[in-house]
Each structure stands twice: as C-alpha cells, then as structure tokens.
Amino acid sequence: MVATIARTMKVSRTVIKNLFLVTSLLTGWFLSSSVLAQEYVLDPNWPQPLPDGIEWGQVPNVTIDQEGFIYAFHRAEPPILKFDPSGKLVDSFGSDWVTTPHGFRAAPDGSLWATDYNPQTGHTVTQFDTDGRVLLRFGARGFRGVGPNTFDGPADSAVAANGDIFVADGHWNNRIVKFSKEGRYLMEWGSKGAGPGQFDLPHTIVIDRRGRVLVGDRSNHRIQIFDQEGGYITEWDQFGWPSGMFIDQNDILYVADYQSKRGVTYGSAEDGTVMGFIEGSEPEGVVVDADGNVYTGEVTGGEGGEGRIMRKFIKQ
C-alpha cells in the first residue's frame, strides 16, 4: 500500500513537471510569436489618396532615393509616382519613355534605373534622374533580341559600386548582361535551365556590400549568387520564389514573394540566415527606408487579393 502511494506520488510529480515544461514552452512560443508579429505593423494611411485623375495600376516595383523620397513604378498613367515620407504625391513622370513598368532601382550615384518589358514597344533599360530626365538608355524600343544591345523582356537591373550595370534579361531571355558605366557591353552569362548558372526567369537582381551579384531565379525558386564575372558561388532556396529583392544599410536582404510565401522574407545578406517574415502584403517589389520601414508594391495581390497598391510597414 505504501509502495503504491509512493509510486502514485512519483507519477503525479512527473506529470506536474511535464505540464509545467509544456506550459513554459507554449508561453515562450506565444510571446516570441507575438513579438515577431509586431515587428512590422501596416500603416493603413500610407500612401495618402492620389489626386483626381490618377488611379493605381499594378505596382511591380518600388524604390527610394538618397533624399528619402519613395517611388512607385506602376502600370497606369503616369507610370512613376514620387511620394514624400508622409505619403503625399509630390511628382509624377515617365509617360514618354516607358510602356509596361517592371524593374526599378536606385543606383549608388543617386540615379534611378527602370526596365520596360512590353513585348511590342518595350525591351529597354533606362537611367534617369529624380526629376525624370533621361540620362542613358540600353536597348531599342520595340526591338527584341539576344544581342549585346538588345533585350527580350528585361526584368531588373543593378549597378555596382564602380558603375558597372547588370541587367537581368529575364522574361524571355534567361541571362545576365553586364555593361560598363559608359554603356559598353562587357559580357553575359546564363541560359535556360536549372543548373548552377542557368536560369528560369531571372526576375530580380541586387549587388551586396561584398560585391556579389544576387539573382532572383524565380521559376527555379532560388537566389543564385555570383561574382561580377559570372562565377557561380552558391544558391539559397529559403526565401521562396523571389520576385523582388532589396538590401538595406544593415546588410539585411528583403525578398518579395507573391506566389509562394505571399509576403516578405528577410535575413542576412551575407549567409542567407532567415530572420523573419512580414505578412499583410502579397508583393512583387520591396524597398526599405533609413528607419527600417518596409514598402511593398503589389501586382495581383498574389492568388488571394487585389493588389494595385503600395503599402508601408512601420518597423517597431
């Protein structure tokens, strides 16, 4: 009888200990999940309503200039909308030189770069200043090809610290094309496929602080990493289907995915360690300001929403 009571008390203590452990784990998980969920909060009042006569189109990409103005590259007139940090529209331009907006990025020299992938009148990559004045253009409007001066659906571009330009010629070609800062063709790499150095829709491209070229190989569901001569280094598949990418001043990589993860995954640009996820948008483009606030552009809203908007997520 005494032995039975002792065994019962021992079992009871074990049960209580296990319940306490499970409760502690669940509490810790709940608290950590709550902190993660609150790391970025959607600002429902950003941007401010557009003025009469301008309506949102699909927003495949967004960027930010050195003065902190945020730009939407959208598929409506006028195609480039410039906002101040409060979300007020302060300028618009681009109607005379772009048909179907796609890639959009700020360069180290302060200029902006945009790609037009329209099948009939696009196939261009254009450099312009923050007032909309065209500075340089690659490709010829309406002429598609695989030569050194023609593209076939250019998806994005990135500029290295020395001024070299890398174009992700991705929607119908599957290559990266490299130019000098003066616009001279230097080299290219890539072909259709799933192996190292091959692509299936290279949709977005950035250059990190180590000088590596990161290519969002969207339909292969990976990011491939190269040196600036096209030498394959490694690849990451933990960021989903990369449609847009941005690296902030803290060396954090943000990856927009509206098809699989349906949000923004962010992590180390050095080794690819995932640090978190931002939900509440199904974005094709992403950019981050100096305060860490994240802006997304939506084209279709993924499979479950409308899109045609730009959103701001405030870092907590």
Convert the pLDDT of each residue in 65-110 to its tens digit.
999 999 999 999 999 999 999 999 999 999 999 999 999 999 999 9
Residue 283's CB is within 10 A of a number of other CB atoms, namely 33
**Averaged pLDDT for residues 274-302:** 93
Cis before 283 (ω within 30): no
Strands 285-288 and 274-278: what pairing? Answer: unpaired
36: pLDDT strictly greater than 60: no
209: pLDDT strictly greater than 90: yes
| pLDDT for 133 | 97
Rg, Å, the chain Cα set: 23
Of 2.40.50.140, 2.60.40.10, 3.30.310.50, 2.120.10.30, the CATH number of 42-315 is 2.120.10.30
If you search the block for the tokens 């992403």, which residue do you land on? 286
> 206 phi and psi, to 5 degrees?
-140, 160
50: pLDDT strictly greater than 70: yes
| pLDDT for 13 | 53
This prediction has a pTM of 0.88
> 93 phi and psi, to 5 degrees?
-170, 180
* Domain ranges for the chain: 1-37, 42-315
259: pLDDT strictly greater than 90: yes
Q: pLDDT (tens digit, 9 = 90+) per residue, 154-192?
A: 999 999 999 999 999 999 999 999 999 999 999 999 999
